[in-house]
A and B are shown apart, each in its own frame.
Chain A
Amino acid sequence: MTLLQGFGDQIIAGAITTLQVALTSLVLGIAVGLCGAMAKVNGIGALRWLADGYTTIVRGIPELLIILILYFGGTVALTALLGRYVEVDAFAAGVFALTIVFGAYATEVFRAALLAVPRSQIEAAHALALSRALTFRLVILPQMWRYALPGLGNLWLTLLKDTALISVVGLEDLMRKASVAAGATHDPLTFYLIAAALYLTFTSVSLVGLALLEQRAGRGVRISE
Chain B
Amino acid sequence: MLKIKPATGQFKTELSDTKAALHVVNLRKRFGQLEVIKGLSLTANQGDVISILGSSGSGKSTLLRCLNFLEPPNEGEIWIGGRQIQARAGATGQREINALRINLGMVFQTFNLWLHKTVLENIVEAPIHVLGLSKAEAHLRAEELLLKVGLADKRHAYPSQLSGGQQQRIAIARALAMEPEILLFDEPTSALDPELVGDVLKVIRALADEGRTMLIVTHELNFARQVSNRIVFLHEGQIEEEGPPDAFFNHPSSPRVRQFLSSQRDGYHR
Contact = CB atoms under 8 A, between A and B. Distances in A.
B115 A143 contact: yes
Given A123-B112, A127-B104, A128-B130, 18 more contacts: A120-B108, A120-B110, A121-B112, A123-B70, A124-B114, A125-B114, A126-B70, A126-B101, A127-B70, A128-B101, A128-B125, A128-B175, A129-B98, A130-B126, A132-B94, A138-B129, A142-B116, A222-B160
B93 to A, nearest CB: 12
Given A121-B115, A221-B116, A223-B161, A128 B126 contact: yes
Contacts of B106: 127
Interface string A128-142: 111110100011001
Interface of A: 120-121, 123-132, 134, 138-139, 142-143, 146, 219-224
B141 interface: no
Contacts of A219: 116, 158
A107 to B, nearest CB: 23
B112 A220 contact: no
Interface string B150-189: 0000000011110000000000001100100000000000
Contacts of A138: 114, 125, 129
B116 A131 contact: no
B238 interface: no
A121 B108 contact: no
A127 B115 CA distance: 16
A120 B161 CA distance: 19
Contacts of B159: 220
A130 B108 CA distance: 16
A140 to B, nearest CB: 10
Give the 3 A-B residue pairs with the shortest CB-CB distance, closest first.
Answer: A220-B158, A128-B126, A124-B112
B68 interface: yes
A130 B99 CA distance: 10
